[in-house]
Structure 1
Amino acid sequence: MGEVKKSTFILQLPLHTTNSDVAALNKYFELSRKLYNVLLNESLKRLNLMRQSKQYQLIKKLDKKEQTKAYRKAREDFRFTKYDLIKFSTPLRINEFKQVDSSTVQKLAQRAFLSVERMFYGKAKRVNFKCKGEMDSVEGSSNRQGIKYRDGYLQWNKLNIKVKIKECDYYAHEALTNKIKYCRIVRKLIRGKIRFFIHLVLEGIPPRKIDNKTGMFKGRHGEGKVGIDIGTQTIAIVSKNETKLLELAPEVNSIHKQMRVIQRKMNRSKCMMNPHKFNEDGTIKRRNGEKWIWSKNYLKLRYQLAELQRKQADIRKQSHYRLANWIISLGDRFYVEQMNYKGLQKRTKETIINEKTGRYNKKKRFGKSLANKAPAMILTLLKQKLGYWELELNKIDTFNFKASQYNHFTDDYTKKSLSARWNEFECGKIQRDLYSAYLIMNSRDDLKNTDRALCISSWNNFKQLHDIEVERLKNCGNKLIGSMGL
């Protein structure tokens, strides 16, 4: 049997850096970036050599069962493994990168190899080399050597930097009682100033937070089933006591508008300063190898955009954390529909002509919505938090379940267009997403079908909560997302 993975969590703490500390850290980060690019390039070479070989071409003709062993043999022959790349990095550290410790070098080698391995498995089409100043995190393989935490100080090479921990920070002091697996140094640009943080990767589960007013632990899970139907911008949640249709991270909408204004300014500046890089129709000349020219105003706008992107990410994550905590308070059995978000990001391949207008339909799908709202993140955070309570997030079989098509009154399935946001029943209209969440909540143990008898017995309670939620949305006074149908 394989090793059982132990739970881990991250404690982020700021570093009390002097000017000399910042200069030294920036120097080490730059050396790590150069080494990472060298390792990434070497890993790519080995992958390309393997793909061009006759041995690799013959593997494609084998049966699937035989392919696995043959691919493993080919990777060993062409030294395309994680351990071979770590072995390759050893002389580099001894000769050219003496100031980067062996533990950090091993992690950089693993990081470079995993990036290229995604190409091998078809999960990525290319890898990105790090430009100057783009390496924003380095980490060690353990807390015994290299980057390590000792008695309130970060120690790395000759650096000994104090870690800021408030005396009243109960959470941090309690978390530090757990074993530290390894440390990570993170560089962030916050309000135009570079700041450094240490990420302590700790073994175990995070300590429970305490309410300063009552002295009681915060956050408790409820009892009963909870059904979740998540879309690209909204989430429908149904339990025995609550029925809600909410917009995901509504706080980021205003920031997104500011980002769009800055991006348009940047685009105009880029076109004006680089007319030699664009075709007459406005597209970029791909084979033009001349350097880009950036104005001072463009560089200022780029820093402003980076700051807004940082704020958007932090606000979105905080919003998702609050929502996840509230969902957990509703029950102890959670059911959600599986979604292929990567597929929703891709543009459509078919070119379709609109029958009404005679124009071509746009090939864009939900890339912008997914980037702004990050619906997959809320599920990741929810699954992580449920693990602390030893609870699971059950994913129903979407292909067999068909929550958006099922009618528990007639016990049959009816296909509906994406624009149809309401279900017509004898008792009245029911919002489509809320009804799907209701069916998911009442799923069977096999997660392939809904329990019709349970739906019928709990219908009156759901209908009452549904009408209250619809009335709330109509009178909330805010602009609602079109997919809500209100």
Structure 2
Amino acid sequence: MKKRQAASDHTQAPTVRTPTFLLELPLVVNQGQAKRLRAHLEAARQLYNAILSLGQQRLRRMRADPAWQEACALPRAHKGERAAAFSALRKAYGFTEAAMHQAVKGLRVGWIAEHIEAVLAQTLASRAYRALNRVCLGNARRVRFKSRGRGFCSIENKRNDTGLRFVLQLPEKGNAGFLLWNEDRLQALIDWQDEVVCHGLRHRIKYARLLQRPASSKRAAGADAEGNRYCVQLVLEGMPHHKPKHTVGQGVVGADLGPSSLALVPQEGEASLQVFCAELAPEERAIRRLQRQMDRQRRVANPEHYDEKGRLKKQGKKLRWKQSKRYQATRRRKATKERKLAAHRKSLHGRKVHEVMALGKTIILEKISYKAWQKRFGTSVGLRAPGMFVAFLRRTVASTGGTLVEVSTRTTALSQWCHGCGTKVKKPLSQRWHQCECGIGPIQRDLYSAFLAAYLDPTDPLPSCAQYASYWEGAEARLRAAHECLIQRAREGQVLPQSFGLTRAGARLPKSPGELPLEPALHLQDEELEAWADPMEPPLLEHGELSGGALL
């Protein structure tokens, strides 16, 4: 807690930032150039680790000073005094970005100076300082040093007039683009028929960033001898290109995002509840099979690390693992699968963001702690990355002139609130339906939360019964229509998550109109499968009555 208090008092002067977007272009690199680029990146890795180690030592000495504890003990109300105390400590121990820039001059010596210019060294020092400052602020536990051959695949400049820079020829001279670094002149592949590329190259280049990425194989087009390909990222001033096919609506959309689901309810239009990134499931299963294969190969090669029951032995010193060639090949296959899955997930996120923007220009959703989701729903969050999707949505909304409103879950509690009577009843996560004694419901929980968000006043996030009374009659039919679509998809064989509150595809759906579908039913044989002939929502239950007509 003291770390967070100490860090919150460290303020910096505000800087004016212009709108920025990225444009990525592939590079044509021969074997000689690729060898020199790998040497440059290795020098950058060692310099980064050196400045990171020096900054870590300074941070530890600063925290060990009794004045640090005295500054942490100052009252929070005395913001100016606390900020001055922490600022004095940072300057005394050289834990500032300017001090890191000064320290990197003494580290950029010998053969490293032949590969890394002074401006690139400053960017590496700033990168190390940001990592260390997150530890100082309590936002991270430790810094990570970059290992050889893995983990350090990018380097960037601060400006585009010296060192690592991108130049573009005039149209009469060929209209070609080149990335210049030291003595190398790397040609970029520019498709002038692409409207996105043409739009980006018409803007001013702030600086360039070199990226090294693993190719699908060493024989892939553009790959070097180590199986890497290179591209340049141009950081441009201005707004990104907006394709005409991506329409932007003008209404308000309420959204309820879950670890594996996304509910959308616009003020005008059809509501929907769908599995979030459902296309990633087959790739996840393939990765799990490779993980099990790696575990078997590791156990065969290292039997001394496991006891007679197959459990890992507890040893005081670090275990030394033997890696067979087949294990390394399986690990490379798994890495390729994960890289393709990440690219597929990014594509699905972009497609879904444009679908949301087509419904409305103002998006309202609850502000969720995705770190807490990682602890509770780690598998689903790791596969679908809902936090990354919200970040993508936030950038797209800002670039199109829209508004993304994230309301606090503590003040609104949309999943617990009823607009009919204004009461809040805490529901367990297993209860996927909203049904109140005032006559509202039963309505699927995620759809109901998205409806409440759609008509929420952003200036006054506290919901009231009056603001929903005139909209509920028309919205209820749309929510029930979305639920009917879910039932139809379940009949067609699609596997739906339990959070939808429906039985899974291929399972027996409830026949009784008084049976509330909260838990999935047991799977039956093919000849015993039944479905609703006329799927209807269950009526309200009287006090003391169970489903099926029995009384308590």
Regarding TM over 0.5, the answer is: yes
2:235 to 197, 201, 205: 201
Supply the AA of the counterpart residue of 1:481.
P
Q: Please give the alpha-carbon distance, in whole angstroms, between the structure 1 residues aligned to 2:460 and 2:31.
A: 57
Q: Deviations over 1:105-133 (max 9, x none)?
A: 11111111111111111111111111111
In the TM superposition, what are the counterparts of 1:186-225 in structure 2 within 5 Å?
186-192=211-217, 193-209=227-243, 217-225=244-252
Unaligned runs of 5+ in 1: 210-216, 347-364
Supply the AA of the counterpart residue of 2:354.
N
Q: How far apart are residue 310 of structure 1 and its match?
A: 0.9
Q: How far apart are residue 157 of structure 1 and its match?
A: 0.9
Look up the SS of the partner of 2:230 in the other structure.
Answer: strand
Q: Please give the alpha-carbon distance, in whole angstroms, between the structure 1 residues aligned to 2:475 and 2:454.
A: 11
Look up the SS of the partner of 2:359 in the other structure.
Answer: coil
The residue that corresponds to 2:365 in the other structure is 336
| Most deviating of 52-61 and 85-94 | 52-61
Q: Please give the alpha-carbon distance, in whole angstroms, between the structure 2 residues aligned to 1:436 and 1:412.
A: 14
Percent of aligned positions that are identical: 31
| Most deviating of 118-127 and 56-65 | 56-65
Q: Please give the alpha-carbon distance, in whole angstroms, between the structure 2 residues aligned to 1:443 and 1:225.
A: 10
1:431 to 444, 465, 470: 444
Q: Deviations over 1:63-114 (max 9, x none)?
A: 2333332122111111111111111111222434111112221111111111
TM-score, normalising length: structure 1: 0.91
In the TM superposition, what are the counterparts of 1:150-299 in structure 2 within 5 Å?
150-151=167-168, 152-192=177-217, 193-209=227-243, 217-239=244-266, 240-277=268-305, 282-283=311-312, 285=314, 287-289=316-318, 291-299=320-328
Q: Which runs of 4+ in 1 moved over 6 A?
A: none
Q: Does 1:80 align with 2:66?
A: no
The residue that corresponds to 1:484 in the other structure is 500
The residue that corresponds to 2:37 in the other structure is 25
Q: Deviations over 1:221-277 (max 9, x none)?
A: 212211011111111110020211122211211111111111111122223323455
The residue that corresponds to 2:157 in the other structure is 140
Look up the SS of the partner of 1:197 in the other structure.
Answer: strand
The residue that corresponds to 1:43 in the other structure is 55
Supply the AA of the counterpart residue of 1:419.
S
Q: Please give the alpha-carbon distance, in whole angstroms, between the structure 2 residues aligned to 1:7 and 1:279.
A: 59
Q: Deviations over 1:360-417 (max 9, x none)?
A: xxxxx11221111111112111111111122220111221111011111112111111
Classify 1:109/1:388 alpha carbon distance in 2 versus 1 (closer, same or farther; 3 Å): same
Look up the SS of the partner of 2:290 in the other structure.
Answer: helix
Q: How far apart are residue 335 of structure 1 and its match?
A: 0.7
Look up the SS of the partner of 2:112 in the other structure.
Answer: coil
Q: Please give the alpha-carbon distance, in whole angstroms, between the structure 1 residues aligned to 2:384 and 2:229.
A: 27
Classify 1:116/1:382 alpha carbon distance in 2 versus 1 (closer, same or farther; 3 Å): same
Look up the SS of the partner of 1:184 in the other structure.
Answer: strand
Supply the AA of the counterpart residue of 1:112.
A
The structure with the larger Rg is 2
Q: Please give the alpha-carbon distance, in whole angstroms, between the structure 2 residues aligned to 1:198 and 1:468.
A: 48
Q: Please give the alpha-carbon distance, in whole angstroms, between the structure 2 residues aligned to 1:279 and 1:204.
A: 61
The residue that corresponds to 1:321 in the other structure is 350
TM-score, normalising length: structure 2: 0.80
Q: How far apart are residue 290 of structure 1 and its match?
A: 5.5
Q: How far apart are residue 12 of structure 1 and its match?
A: 1.1
Unaligned runs of 5+ in 2: 1-12, 169-176, 218-226, 503-552
The residue that corresponds to 2:481 in the other structure is 468
Q: How far apart are residue 292 of structure 1 and its match?
A: 2.8
Look up the SS of the partner of 1:406 in the other structure.
Answer: coil
Q: Please give the alpha-carbon distance, in whole angstroms, between the structure 2 residues aligned to 1:57 and 1:279.
A: 47
The residue that corresponds to 2:394 in the other structure is 383
Q: How far apart are residue 175 of structure 1 and its match?
A: 0.9
Q: Which has the higher contact order (CA 8 A, sep 6+)?
A: 1
In the TM superposition, what are the counterparts of 1:292-311 in structure 2 within 5 Å?
292-311=321-340
The residue that corresponds to 1:109 in the other structure is 125
| Most deviating of 18-27 and 456-465 | 456-465
Classify 1:154/1:278 alpha carbon distance in 2 versus 1 (closer, same or farther; 3 Å): farther
Q: Please give the alpha-carbon distance, in whole angstroms, between the structure 2 residues aligned to 1:440 and 1:122.
A: 33
Please tell me the root mean square deviation across aligned C-alpha atoms, in Å.
Answer: 1.8
